[in-house]
Amino acid sequence: MIVRHFSEITNQAVETDDAVAVTIRWLIGKDNTDALFYMRQLEIAPDGHTPYHRHGGGHQVYILQGEGRLRTETGYIPLSPGTFAQVLPEDMHSFENTGATPFRFLCLIPRD
């Protein structure tokens, strides 16, 4: 069993092409060999965004704080605290902060 506070986990800059002002905390990650999935907390500063991309694994997100939107191939979907979304495998997507405060959310992904 693991019980920790998110502030105990190192907040790392996301350094991939086209990521702007994004940090990540691997709350449950590769170091947990019993994990069935990985849980990450992402934070996007005002005017920041994740890359617009696609990948083979889907993921689920739950919005904790701030205002943002999910960019899809068909448009934008607003996101606010309490909103959740499922991104299916191969769906083009990115997350963008549209507010004046940090946009923070949980992201669950399949284990490798």
Give the start-to-end residue ranges of the domains of the chain.
9-110
Cα 4 to chain centroid, rounded: 19
- Judge whether 80 and 6 are in contact, CB under 8 Å: no
Residue 36 scores a pLDDT above 80: yes
pLDDT for the residue numbered 31: 83
Q: Domain spanning 9-110 has what CATH number? A: 2.60.120.10
Share of the chain above pLDDT 90, in %: 88
Is the model more confident about 90 or about 111? 90
d(CA 27, CA 63): 15
| pLDDT of residue 18 exceeding 90 | yes
The pTM (predicted TM-score) of the whole model is 0.94
Average of per-residue pLDDT across 47-64: 96
Task: For the chain, give percent helix, strand, coil, nearest 5.
Answer: 5, 55, 45
* Tokens representing residue 15 in the block: 């350094």
